[in-house]
Amino acid sequence: MLVTQDTFDSLYKNSIEFKIQNSSWRAPCAKHLIAMKFHAINNNSERLSRDIADVHEIYCRTDGVVSKKEILELCEIYGMKKFRTP
């Protein structure tokens, strides 16, 4: 995915560093992962069921690192209301 320098800087600044064997790696923080999932859904609605399942899994596995309020804010930013079911 191509992003602006500002976006990359924010992703990197908030990323999580971890080690596998002797190598250091970085991964986006949970909030940014969720934002990327919403962005992907918004650009390709066929991803909805798969990526919403990923969002749920990220939320459950990170023990509330991203609050429900933050997820709802991301829903607003990425236009997720159109995917809501009654």
Task: State pLDDT tens for residues 34-55.
Answer: 999 999 999 999 999 999 999 9
Residue 11 has pLDDT above 90, yes or no: yes
Within 10 A of 39 (CB to CB), how many other CB atoms are there? 16
pTM summary value = 0.86
Distance set, CA 28 to CA 20, 45, 63, 68, 82 (Å)? 16, 23, 16, 19, 26
What does the pLDDT look like over 70-82, one tens digit per residue?
999 999 999 888 8
Helix (H, G, I), strand (E, B) or coil at 84: coil
Decide if 80 contacts 41 (C-beta within 8 A). yes
Domain ranges of the chain: 29-86
Dist CA 29 CA 83 (whole Å): 24
